[in-house]
Amino acid sequence: NAGVTQTPKFRILKIGQSMTLQCTQDMNHNYMYWYRQDPGMGLKLIYYSVGAGITDKGEVPNGYNVSRSTTEDFPLRLELAAPSQTSVYFCASSYPGLAGTLGYEQYFGPGTRLTVT
């Protein structure tokens, strides 16, 4: 299994440009997530999805959009890039956990480093 893969690894955008960050997982996980990581701030959840066709906002969704047309793919769209969106973006996936338990863990992709200037 390749696990969680993300493309591109690096990208520089000009203010106002748009782009899509790709995320694919081959573990048949129901749940997928997008985080951004800023220095000293940990990871903040942008959007998440509990299955194909179902998405919901996380802590910091403004300026982003997502879709989940298949179990494997969960792309993140930036429509009008702003300098505040300069960050490292991580995609993750997980199983929902066994019935009657709360337990699961998230598997992370290698990240996309985005700079908006």
DSSP code for 73: B
34 binds another protein (CB under 8 A): no
43 binds another protein (CB under 8 A): yes
Window 44-63: residues binding another protein (CB under 8 A): 44-45, 48, 50, 58
**Given the complex with another protein, which of 83 and 96 has the nearer CB atom?**
96
Tell me how far apart the alpha carbons of residues 33 and 49 are, in angstroms, rounded to a whole number: 6
106 binds another protein (CB under 8 A): yes
Cβ–Cβ < 8 Å for 18, 78? yes
